[in-house]
Amino acid sequence: MGKLDNQPQRFFQDEDTGYPQGDAIKQQIDVRNRRGLWWRIFFMLALLMAIASLVALLATIVNDAFGYVVVINREDPERLALDVVAMQLLSASNTLTSEDDNELADGVAANPNGIGFFGNAYYQQNRDRLKLVAIDGDLPNEETALSGAYPLVRPLFLYTTADILSNNQAANVFMNYLLTNVNAEIEQVGYLPTSQEDLTFSQRNWIRANANLGLQPGQWAAINPSGILGNFTIAGSSTVYPLTDHMLAAYQAAGYEGVYNNQSVGTTAGIAAFCDGKADIAAASRPIQSGEFEVCRKNGRFPQEFRVGTDALAVVVNAQNDFVTNLTQEELQQVFTIAQTWADVNPAWPDEPIYRFIPGADSGTLDFFTDAVYDARLSDLSKEELARLLATNISVGRGRALEREQRFFENALLFESPDLWNEVCAQPPAARPTGCTAPVRSRDNIYDLLMTEVVKPDVVKTYTLLNSVLNRRAIQAEAAESYPNGDLEFRAWVNRDFVTNAQSSTPELAGVRTAILGSLFVIAVTIIFSFPVGVGAAIYLEEYAADNRLNRLLQTNINNLAGVPSIIYGMLGLAIFVRALESFTSGAAFGEVTDPTTANGRTILSAGLTLGLLILPLLIINAQEALRAVPNSLRQAGLALGATKWQTTWHHVLPVALPGILTGTILAVSRAIGETAPLVVVGASTFIALDPSGPFSKFTTLPIQIYQWTSRPQAEFRNIAAAAILVLLVMLLALNATAVFLRNRYSVRM
Amino acid sequence: MAIHTQASTFAQTEITAISLQKKPRVGEILIQGFLFFCGILSIFTTVGIVYILVTESFTLFNSQQWATTNKRIAVEVDPTMTEIEVGTSGAALFVGDVIRLTNEVMIITAMNDNIIVVERGAQGTTPAAYAAGLQIARAKDVNVIDTLTSTNWMPQLGQFGIWPLLYGTIATSIIAMFVALPVGLATAIYLSEYASEKVRSTLKPILEILAGIPTVVYGFFALVFMTPLLRSVFGVENVQIFNVMSAGIVVGILIVPLMSSMSEDALHAVPRALREAAFGLGATKLEVSLKVVTPAALSGIAAAFVVSISRAIGETMVVAIAAGSGPKNFTLGKDSLFGYVLNPFLSAETMTGHIVRISGGDLSYDSIDYNSLFAIGLMLFLMTLILNIVARYFVNKYREVYE
């Protein structure tokens, strides 16, 4: 070996041995250490990247599952609930309704047990015949109205647009005249003045439309109406009418020379006319509603609100009535609905029937009264009330279709005529609508229908959590700017309703109950099938199988199966369970077809068996490991005592291996719960709102639901996909926690 | 005592009663039979998979597929007519073509401009009357050579080139391995060689959590997080909403835990003596890790790598959600190679993604779509099977060395 021979010689040459010396050693070691450090940092960064991915993944989900949303309801749910209250009022005993307030005043004046409510102006006209009732100790007057102590106070509004003001001089100057003088004049009409603050705000709106005058907010300039020409039209509330009428007369007296047209058609009709361009100013005894606002906007009119006064409703009794001077809000609620006699309200009062005089159903006054006195929520209503609401708010055709799907009541029909129904249901089963046999709708179902068919909440804009937290101000400003009639609310997309609601095509109302139940059903089938088979196979391979070619093939085969992509199992399931064994998996072979539209094998049973085959290799391998960990001495002891192989396995080996087997099974099952692709191939339903009822039902599962929602382009579907992912992850977490718990508990015992 | 009694009986009545031979226990035989059946079921599964994939693919390659021609008959046809005038638009027909109107198959025997002469009622079908304007379908044989060479996958037009789908699968897998190999391996080396026991026991569960998250969640992550990120980095106009890059990266993240845990097992299996010998010679920790332990564990790491590729190829939900929803058909030579064909920022459907999309719709049995899915499935199965066998070979190799 030439090299070795040479080296000692060089070593003895003292200088330049070829090995570094002194500082050079230190330098080289430094270089090597530095290189070591850099690589170490690289290795750590790789690990950090993996952790960062997990954090990013979870953050993305949470980011989309919470955040601000802007919701626009087609119908206000509170308004609907109040409609029910209004119906109760109208149908209470001894109740007389009239659109004419004078008639109501006469009625109360003529009946010693009468009680009624109407605009304060009419009470003022009939002071001698009527007695005003205090509410919670407060009588209506300017002071209690402004402080808000008296509850039955409503604002009076005029609506117009900046465009109209700048183009129609007559209307513009009238608004100026009105805003200048209304507080001084209003008490003559019987109404209460509005606060200075509100008036200033209205004036500011006027100033903005008249920018050419160069007024600063807070300043005010009265314009002299004399000599003003041109025509304009006011339409709207009968309550505001006396006020506008009075002001118009004064306007004319001050010198206006044009022609005005003042119509008392009711608030709703007035706003509609205004939005259609048939009126220049709308008079309203309530704020404009979001739907109305939207219509106006579509027609190019952006309504501006002018608060011009305050109306207090007067609750009055007959002048001879000496026992009622004050009513609490609760008593007031009873007096106009459930109470039959005065004694029902307060035992100290006479046992005489109450005679009620209230405005009719078309009046804004009734709506206002229910709104102010009653506290109604849609979710508190009974099934009957919800059904009645639904009936009054959807078309008969739609109602019939819903009723044919599923009836509303056992013994009554809501939309269909009984004759037609009997005729339809007499048809052979195939042609018969499902409503003939299906169970009646539950209260919750009708509530959901009401939401989807009538309220139709529409999330028009969503914000992510991060955005919601960081840019709250900007979001509030943007929402107010772009969606003036929408409600900005912070929404947790994953909430109680989301978990309990059935699937829906509207993301705002969709839930995952069907999907969760589907997942549980499918997993139940999977476990029932794969647990015994998997453990059996593991026992065979570990305890019984001799080391021969067949058994080695079995083992190799199982290992290979564990590496087959899950989607291939889906294709196997499709060809075998869904297609070849259709009569078995659809339940037809047992005469058990749950749903005639699905008798094609795409059922929970097929899905469960497919997933069973999928996790079988995993389960076998895990169980084998658990069995292998059992000490051999245990087996030998059993066998030595004369136990048979099976007795040894069953009584000694299996109990010891059980925690390991269970842990492995749970891990395999959590894999199955998260599987999506094979179930899509097997034929998960894209949309089912009915809960699965057995192994032969159509199915959808949580991951399938997530997949479908993720594939939709709309942002709200992404939000509910994130929410569904959270539900799925919680399910998996619970399962894995169970695995850890089992492992800990049983390993202690060993 | 029993034995005494037995002995006395024995003496009295010659050799009759008792035998100490093992008694056949029917119950145990049944149980053993059941256990064996459980074991053998996995063979049935494999046989079932191979059988259905092969037979359904065979059906496809033996079937006469009907491709739309966009050519319509110009006149009303009664059951006896053999000369039919056809419209001018649509694909050209030739003598000898087998065509179909509704359910009736015909063979073109002669042509004269827009008049075709046909043999009616071929292949045992019944001649019938047809209204003018009905579209003609033309028979097209599917063969394996075309499938393996053509670059267009359009089953409705009778084109079954596997390459567009194969491209999607290969592209996502390569990108995934570019992420998973360095990250997974480096993580494994860090955990196995550098990290203290305490760090290991805290960080490993995090990787296990990553491994336990369902793939559909990763799909959501790719679409909602990775794609917007790529679009903001490379420009919205350069990156399509569905793109191979985003799906590939996320598939890579998804297989990092697999890659790292298998590699770590391999590194762990390297005997301590090897490390200590290297340290004894003055090697630094890095040198021990990279120049001694890693080469020693190379076969195990190779197995991890191959299994990871197999997993990437079979991965479905991420690519179904984020990679694209249509095969990227291309023509070599005509389409720009780097601008279009190999551009990872464009959408391309993978084999698995295609199976999921097509079977998610209303799939009817024995249709072209149905059969073609099984052909893709067969291809997928073979690819992953070969990779798994290769991986097993590597695993066995390193086991031999150190056990």
Kind plus residue range of the DSSP H or E element containing A263: strand A260-264
Neighboring chain B residues of A67 at a CB cutoff of 8 Å: none
- Find out whether A86 and A369 touch, Cβ atoms under 8 Å: no
**B338/B373: higher pLDDT:** B373
Query: What chain A residue is nearest to B283 in terms of C-alpha separation?
Result: A32
Chain mean position to CA A627 = 50
Angle between helices A513-539 and A654-674 (to 10 degrees): 140
3-state class of A113 per DSSP? coil
Instruction: Say how many residues make up chain A.
Output: 750
Q: Which of A551, A571, A613 sits opposite B45 (nearest CB)?
A: A613
Is B194–A43 a contact, with Cβ atoms under 8 angstroms apart? yes
Q: How far apart are CA B319 and CA B165, in angstroms?
A: 12
B280 shares contact with chain A (CB less than 8 Å): no
For the segment B89-115, what is each residue's pLDDT rounded down to a tens digit? Answer: 777 777 777 888 877 888 888 887 788
Neighboring chain A residues of B303 at a CB cutoff of 8 Å: none
The number of beta carbons lying within 10 Å of the beta carbon of residue B70 is 10
- Find out whether B353 and B325 touch, Cβ atoms under 8 Å: yes
Is B286–A32 a contact, with Cβ atoms under 8 angstroms apart? yes
Neighboring chain B residues of A576 at a CB cutoff of 8 Å: 48, 52
3-state class of B75 per DSSP? coil
Q: How far apart are CA A119 and CA A136, in angstroms?
A: 19
Q: How far is B323 from chain A (nearest CA, A)?
A: 12
What does the CA dihedral A205, A207, A210, A213 come to, rounded to 10 degrees?
Answer: 180
Residues 6+ apart with CB under 8 A from B275: B288, B292, B293
Sequential DSSP letters for A343-399: HHH-TTS-S-B-EEEEE-TT-HHHHHHHHHH----GGG--HHHHHHHHHHHS-HHHH
Q: What angle do CA B320, B325, B330 make, to 5 degrees?
A: 120
Q: How far apart are CA A687 and CA A691, in angstroms?
A: 11
B59 shares contact with chain A (CB less than 8 Å): no
Is A571–B373 a contact, with Cβ atoms under 8 angstroms apart? yes
Taking CB atoms and an 8 Å cut-off, how many pairs form between chains A and B? 247
Neighboring chain A residues of B39 at a CB cutoff of 8 Å: 536-537, 540-541, 545, 551, 554
3-state class of A676 per DSSP? coil
Is A616–B45 a contact, with Cβ atoms under 8 angstroms apart? yes
Q: How far apart are CA B51 and CA B364, in angstroms?
A: 20
- Find out whether B118 and B109 touch, Cβ atoms under 8 Å: yes
B315 shares contact with chain A (CB less than 8 Å): yes
Query: What chain A residue is nearest to B363 in terms of C-alpha separation?
Result: A683
Q: How far is B100 from chain A (nearest CA, A)?
A: 28
> 3-state SS of chain A: helix, strand, coil percent to 5?
60, 10, 30
- Find out whether B84 and B129 touch, Cβ atoms under 8 Å: no
Which amino acid type is present at position A462?
Answer: T
Beta A457-462 vs B104-112: how paired, if at all? unpaired
Mean residue pLDDT of chain B comes to: 84
CATH 3.40.190 in chain A, residues? 96-149+319-376, 156-312
Is B253–A44 a contact, with Cβ atoms under 8 angstroms apart? no
CA distances from A64 to A60, B220, B236, B269 (A): 6, 11, 21, 43
How is residue A399 written in tokens? 């109602």
Q: Which residues pair with A156 in a beta bridge?
A: A309
Q: Which of B217, B287, B380 sits opposite A725 (nearest CB)?
A: B217
Whether pLDDT at B55 is above 50: yes
Contact residues, B window 95-154, toward A, CB-based 8 Å cutoff: none
Is A572–B381 a contact, with Cβ atoms under 8 angstroms apart? no
Q: How far is A401 from chain B (nearest CA, A)?
A: 25
Residues 6+ apart with CB under 8 A from A45: B186
Q: How many helices (H) and strands (E) does chain A have?
A: 33, 14
Kind plus residue range of the DSSP H or E element containing A155: strand A153-160
Is A674–B216 a contact, with Cβ atoms under 8 angstroms apart? yes
SS (H, E, C) A430-495: CCCCHHHCCCCCCHHHHHHHHHHHHHCEEEEEECCHHHHHHCHHHHHHHHHHHCCCCEEEEEECCC
SS (H, E, C) A450-466: HHHHHHCEEEEEECCHH
Neighboring chain A residues of B290 at a CB cutoff of 8 Å: 39
Instruction: Give the residue carrying structure tokens 């209506």.
Output: A140
Which amino acid type is present at position B237?
Answer: E
- Find out whether A474 and A488 touch, Cβ atoms under 8 Å: no
- Find out whether A297 and A178 touch, Cβ atoms under 8 Å: no
pLDDT band at B319 (very low <50, low <70, confident <90, very high): very high
Q: How far is B273 from chain A (nearest CA, A)?
A: 21
Beta B83-85 vs B115-122: how paired, if at all? antiparallel
CATH superfamily of domain region B160-402: MetI-like (1.10.3720.10)
B291 shares contact with chain A (CB less than 8 Å): no
Query: What chain A residue is nearest to B378 in terms of C-alpha separation?
Result: A568
- Find out whether B324 and B221 touch, Cβ atoms under 8 Å: no
Give me the average pLDDT of each 10-residue run along chain A (750 residues): 46 59 85 91 91 92 90 81 83 80 84 86 81 86 80 87 87 90 84 84 85 78 85 86 89 88 84 89 84 82 87 86 85 85 86 86 77 81 84 84 83 81 79 78 84 82 88 85 80 86 81 91 94 94 88 89 92 90 78 59 90 94 92 92 90 89 89 92 80 83 92 87 94 86 65
3-state class of A319 per DSSP? coil
Q: For residue A493, with 0-12 CB atoms within 10 Å meaning exposed, 13-18 middle and 19 or more buried, which class applies?
A: buried
Under DSSP, the state recorded for A596 is: G
- Find out whether B136 and B71 touch, Cβ atoms under 8 Å: yes
DSSP H helical ranges for A641-691: 645-648, 654-674, 677-682
What is the per-residue burial (b if ≥16 Cβ within 10 Å, else e) of A553-579? ebbebbbbbbbbbbbbbbbbbbbbbbb
How is residue B121 written in tokens? 């009622």
- Find out whether A120 and A369 touch, Cβ atoms under 8 Å: no
CA atoms within 13 A on the CB side of A267: 21
Is A57–B225 a contact, with Cβ atoms under 8 angstroms apart? yes
Is A560–B389 a contact, with Cβ atoms under 8 angstroms apart? yes
The number of beta carbons lying within 10 Å of the beta carbon of residue B296 is 20
Neighboring chain B residues of A535 at a CB cutoff of 8 Å: 38
How is residue A404 written in tokens? 């044919």
Domain residue ranges in chain B: 24-63, 66-141, 160-402
Whether pLDDT at B233 is above 80: yes
CA distances from B226 to A304, A645, B239, B246 (A): 45, 56, 11, 6
- Find out whether B383 and B313 touch, Cβ atoms under 8 Å: yes
Instruction: Give the residue carrying structure tokens 């190779």.
Output: B302
Contact residues, B window 172-201, toward A, CB-based 8 Å cutoff: 182-187, 189-191, 194
Neighboring chain A residues of B219 at a CB cutoff of 8 Å: 707, 710
- CATH architecture for residues A156-312: 3-Layer(aba) Sandwich (3.40)
Neighboring chain B residues of A53 at a CB cutoff of 8 Å: 210, 253, 256
Q: To probe the interface with B, which of A63, A681, A682, A704 has the most B CB atoms within 10 Å?
A: A681
Residue A584: predicted pLDDT: 81
* Window from A235-249, B65-79, B254-268 with minimum mean pLDDT: B65-79
Q: Which of B56, B284, B320 sits opposite A575 (nearest CB)?
A: B56
Which amino acid type is present at position A131?
Answer: K
* Window from A225-234, A412-421, B282-291, B371-380 with minimum mean pLDDT: A412-421
3-state class of A235 per DSSP? strand
Is B218–A49 a contact, with Cβ atoms under 8 angstroms apart? no
- CATH architecture for residues B66-141: Beta Barrel (2.40)
Give the residue from B363, B88, B174, B56 showing the smallest Cα distance to A684.
Answer: B363
Residues 6+ apart with CB under 8 A from A344: A334, A338
Whether pLDDT at B188 is above 60: yes
How is residue A719 written in tokens? 């939000």
3-state class of B171 per DSSP? helix
Fold of A513-749: MetI-like fold (1.10.3720)
Q: How far apart are CA A342 and CA B126, in angstroms?
A: 88
Sequential DSSP letters for A505-518: SSTTT--SHHHHHH
Q: How far apart are CA A121 and CA A243, in angstroms?
A: 10
Question: Which of A174-183, A214-223, B116-125, B170-179 has maximum average pLDDT?
Answer: B170-179
Residue A593: predicted pLDDT: 59
Instruction: Give the residue carrying structure tokens 């047992």.
Output: A590
Q: How far is A14 from chain B (nearest CA, A)?
A: 23
Is B49–A674 a contact, with Cβ atoms under 8 angstroms apart? no
B79 backbone dihedrals φ, ψ, rounded to 5°? -65, -15
CATH class assigned to A96-149+319-376 = alpha beta
